[in-house]
Every structure is written in C-alpha cells, then in structure tokens.
Amino acid sequence: MPPADDTARALRAAYAAGTRRPSEVIEDALSRIVARDGDLHAFLSVDEERARAEAAEWDERYARASGTDDLPALAGVPIAIKDNMCTRGVPTTAGSRILDGWRPPYDATVVTRLRQAGAIILGKTNLDEFAMGSSTENSAFGPTRNPWDRTRVPGGSSGGSAAAVAAGMVPLALGSDTGGSIRLPAGFCGVVGLKPTYGRVSRYGLVAFASSLDQIGPLATDVADCALLLGAIAGHDPADSTSARIPVLDYVAALQEGARGIRIGVPEEASGDGVDAAVAEALRAALDVFAAQGFPVERITLPTIEAALPAYYLIAPAEASSNLARYDGVRYGVRADADDLYEMYTDTRRRGFGPEVKRRIMLGTYALSAGYYEAYYLKAQNVRTLVARDFERAFERVDVVAMPVAPTPAFALGEKADDPLRMYLSDIFTIPVNLAGLPGLALPCGFDRGLPIGMQLVGRPFEEATLLRAAHAYERATAWHRRRPPVAA
C-alpha cells in the first residue's frame, strides 16, 4: 500500500468508491502485525476473529450501498486501542499482572462510540503499567520498541499505540494522557497525537490513574485523521459526570476554515537548560514556518512551568494511591493465597504491582498521610492554580502556545529505567498542560539523527479546532509527517 493511501480518510473514500474492501485492509493490517510486531511489541492482544467478522459485514454493507455513502465516519477502518480501556469480554490488562486474565463486563464509552462510528478494533496496545511511565518499559508484559530505532523507547505511556501507528500497522489508535502519555510517544514516534481538554472525552471505562488529569485522545499519521477520530469519540456522557456538555464540532470541516489570524506564543522557558540543541533548533525552524505563512509569533512567559513537575509528582501519585486501592484481590483480577484478609490484600498487591506503581502508591500515600497533607498535597494544588493562571495570562495575548513535546528525542531502552527522577523530566513540557486541563497536540517538526522531534501546540479549553487548524497549516507547509520509519517504508 503506497504511503499516500494509508490514512483513515483515504481508506474510507476507497471503500465508498469500491476500489478497496474492508476485508482486504484488515488482512493487510493483520499480516503487517505478524511481520512487524514480533520485534516492536506494540500489541498486547489482537482480536483477529472478530476483526475479520466485522470486516466481512462492512464489505457487504458497502456493496449494498453501491455509491450512496451514508455509512458511518469510520466504517471498516481498523484501529488499535490502549489496553487501559475496557472492552467487554476481551482482556484488558492496563499493562499490569494484577489484571492478567480479567475480561471487563462492559465497554468503555469510547469503545461504544468507535463501534457506532464503524471502526474495527484490531487489538489492544502496550503501555506502562497503569499508564505510569514515559517509556512503556514499565509494562508487566515487556517493553515496546521505537519503530525508528529498535534500541530506543517509543515514549510512554501510550507507546504501543504510537508505535502501531508509526509502523503502519493501523492508521488510527487511542491513547490516554495524564502527564503527557499521548503527546510524548507521538513525539518520539513521529505521529500526530492530541490530548483533548479535560472533559472533552468520556473517561467511563478508562482504567483510572489520576482522575483529575486523565484524558483519552487520538493518535494518527496526520492532522486531519486526528480531527476525524476526535470527532468520533468526543462529547458528553451521562456515565462520566466530568464530561462537558459542550457541543462537538465537525473537526475535519473546521480544517477547511484555514488558520488565518491565529497568534502563536513561544514561552521563554521552553528553550532553557536541558533542552537538546537539535530540539531547540527544530522548534525555531517550525516557528519560522509559521511566521512565513503570516502567523503572528511572539514571545510569552510561563513563569511557574518549572514547578509543574514537582507539583504533578505529588498530585498524580496521591490520586493514584486512592484509585489503585480497588486492586485488593476481592472482586476481580489476581488474588494471592493467604490465611487472613490483611495478608491477602498486601500479598496480592505485592505480587500484582510492578516497581513504578508501588513507588507511586507509596509517594501518594505519604503525600496524603496525616501531618504531610498540607506540606505536600495541598501545596501542590496551590501550585496547580498558578500554572493554570500562567496559561490564562498567555491566552490573553495569543491563541496557541508552541513548545517542544520533550527536551530530547527518544532515549535508549534502559537509559533511565533506574532513575525515576530523570525519567520524570521527560514530561516537563507536557505535564503543565494536564495540570491546567488544556488541550495539547503533538506533531512531528523535524528529525535528529533519524529520530523524530515533536512540537506541541497548546490551546484554550475546548479550542481543539484552533490547535488542529494551526497544526494543519504547518503540516501543509512541511513534509515531516510523510516520512515513515524503515519498517513501514
């Protein structure tokens, strides 16, 4: 399949025109997974039987429709979803031993919406255990490798989803993002990833990590596919009371409005110490592309941004320690044999959780414990307010904030595995966006020694369309998004 054909939009159009059939595309995708995923390990499970059955149904429905295209937006299009979203009757592990073998009794709302939109869920992708990590090395089922360089990490925690899209195994995937878990792997793998505004997409059926920060979002090979997938999953859901009652736009149509007049702000703090020279250079060049197209570009400041990381590493673990209390061996998942209840709890959790999850549970429990709550947790929440105010002030002058996704391109497997603090620093530019609840989009803006570099665009709450329009304008002026890793060439 030539690269120009591998978007969801192109597949959808080819189905309607009768030049391709969903069954052929699913067979292609399955054979690519066989050929490429032994090495990459993007998938934790693949549901061949169901995918084939659904594809055959869509074959028929397209044949019956013969030209009149009133089938849903993603009819017959393959997609992969991160294995922390519940799929009824299909294993959902969240990358953890503690959920090994569990089959959820219900579908996540995003899964229901994807099915309504006609998408074929091909499989579930690898992640850091409970989405806690920046490299996908914390998966209990082994790491995913970066399709651009197998000695490197794909980023995390949605590393499986980003690698599956980058390696051409699926055109679309869903990830979740608590502190950068969609944007970092999108940046490291050279694909487009969007963390929507908190509340834009229902979290019902997403395995909870930090509930005030978690958000599900799309990964795709280009901006228009990302817009298409966002439209399919966004919207209010009575099952998630934090989902917003704000109308969902036609994000693909919004791209046609163009991007005239969108003002871009560049934070001074985004080119400071610790930012790789190649990353800083790629961002500078990207801003020149915006300026050359007539976008006003100006400098702004986000003075509290450096405090966002330590605040996050109190807030997210605190919420996680509470959310993960449910894994007690009583109602589902794995249980350790023990003579009394207390020992059953502690032994189940000792065996079921990996080192990073234990570390965060301990950190969060400490931050919430008597005598420390005000010194840590409450203070972090005060800082969260300052971070949000920084962005509010910036958005009085500009419409979009542009900065790197991460200070470096993809690092080597094992490089940071023994040093949690260094690992956490990968997320310094993505974490503030979660704390403020804003939408953030990652897209490729260059390469360094064969590794993709990602740019991040951040917008006002519920202004995903503005981000997509700005990203689309950039994409049309550049060719980074057309590059494919050797494995997918």
* Rounded distance between C-alpha atoms, residue 449 and residue 146, angstroms: 14
359 binds other proteins (CB under 8 A): yes
* Rounded distance between C-alpha atoms, residue 232 and residue 169, angstroms: 21
Residue 24 CB, nearest distance to other proteins (Å)? Answer: 35
Q: Which of the stretches 72-80, 239-247, 276-284, 452-460 binds other proteins when contact is defined by CB under 8 A?
A: 239-247
Residue closest to 161 by CA, chosen among 44, 80, 45: 80
Among 68, 340, 479, 489, contact with other proteins (rule: CB under 8 A): 340
376 binds other proteins (CB under 8 A): yes
Q: Which of the stretches 108-116, 185-193, 274-282, 371-379 binds other proteins when contact is defined by CB under 8 A?
A: 371-379
Single-letter residue type at 345: Y
Site for other proteins in 318-337 (CB under 8 A): 321, 325, 328-335
Q: Which residue is associated with the tokens 């002030």?
A: 393
Residue 113 CB, nearest distance to other proteins (Å)? Answer: 19
Question: Of 82, 124, 195, 416, which residue is the catalytic one?
Answer: 82
Among 260, 369, 373, 482, contact with other proteins (rule: CB under 8 A): 369
Question: Of 161, 181, 243, 426, which residue is the catalytic one?
Answer: 181
Single-letter residue type at 393: R
- CB atoms inside a 10 Å sphere around CB 379: 16
Nearer to other proteins, 381 or 478 (CB): 381
365 binds other proteins (CB under 8 A): yes
Q: How far is CA 403 from CA 128, 286, 329, 453, 489, in A?
A: 25, 10, 43, 11, 29
Among 212, 271, 301, 478, contact with other proteins (rule: CB under 8 A): 212
195 a catalytic residue: no
Nearer to other proteins, 169 or 380 (CB): 380
- Structural contact between residues 193 and 182, judged by C-beta atoms closer than 8 angstroms: yes
Among 102, 248, 285, 297, contact with other proteins (rule: CB under 8 A): 102
End-to-end Cα, the chain, rounded Å: 10
Question: Of 23, 157, 176, 202, which residue is the catalytic one?
Answer: 157
247 binds other proteins (CB under 8 A): no
Residue 158 CB, nearest distance to other proteins (Å)? Answer: 21
Contact flags string 458-477 toward other proteins, x per CB under 8 A: ---x----------------
Residue 91 CB, nearest distance to other proteins (Å)? Answer: 11
Binding footprint of other proteins, residue count (CB under 8 A): 68
Among 29, 81, 283, 314, contact with other proteins (rule: CB under 8 A): 314
235 binds other proteins (CB under 8 A): no
Residue closest to 260 by CA, chosen among 236, 208, 232, 296: 296
* Rounded distance between C-alpha atoms, residue 360 and residue 317, angstroms: 5
Is beta strand 192-195 parallel, antiparallel or unpaired with respect to 215-220? Answer: antiparallel
Q: Which of the stretches 42-50, 108-116, 238-246, 445-453 binds other proteins when contact is defined by CB under 8 A?
A: 238-246
Nearer to other proteins, 242 or 301 (CB): 242
Using the CB atoms, write b or e for 147-176: b if 16+ within 10 Å: bbbeebbbbbbbbbbbbbbbbbbbbbbbbb
161 a catalytic residue: no
157 a catalytic residue: yes
Nearer to other proteins, 72 or 310 (CB): 310
Identify the H or E element spanning 390.
helix 379-394
Among 72, 235, 296, 310, contact with other proteins (rule: CB under 8 A): 310
- Structural contact between residues 379 and 387, judged by C-beta atoms closer than 8 angstroms: no
* Rounded distance between C-alpha atoms, residue 250 and residue 261, angstroms: 20
Rg (CA), the chain: 21
Strand order in the sheet with 400-404: 43-46, 120-125, 78-82, 172-177, 215-220, 192-195, 440-448, 451-459, 400-404, 264-267, 297-300
Nearer to other proteins, 268 or 392 (CB): 392
Among 72, 91, 296, 437, contact with other proteins (rule: CB under 8 A): 437
Work out whether the CA dihedral 91, 94, 95, 97 comes out positive or negative.
negative
306 binds other proteins (CB under 8 A): yes
* Rounded distance between C-alpha atoms, residue 93 and residue 45, angstroms: 10
Residue 364 CB, nearest distance to other proteins (Å)? Answer: 8
Among 16, 162, 436, 488, contact with other proteins (rule: CB under 8 A): 436
241 binds other proteins (CB under 8 A): yes
Residue closest to 23 by CA, chosen among 34, 11, 6: 11
304 binds other proteins (CB under 8 A): yes
Residues 6+ apart with CB under 8 A from 157: 95, 127, 128, 131, 132, 133, 134, 136, 138, 175, 176, 178, 181, 185
Binding residues for other proteins (CB under 8 A): 102-103, 105-106, 198-199, 212, 238, 241-242, 244, 304, 306-307, 309-311, 313-314, 321, 325, 328-335, 338-347, 349-350, 353, 355, 358-359, 361-363, 365-366, 369, 376, 378-386, 388, 420-421, 435-437, 461
Q: Which residues are catalytic?
A: 82, 157, 181
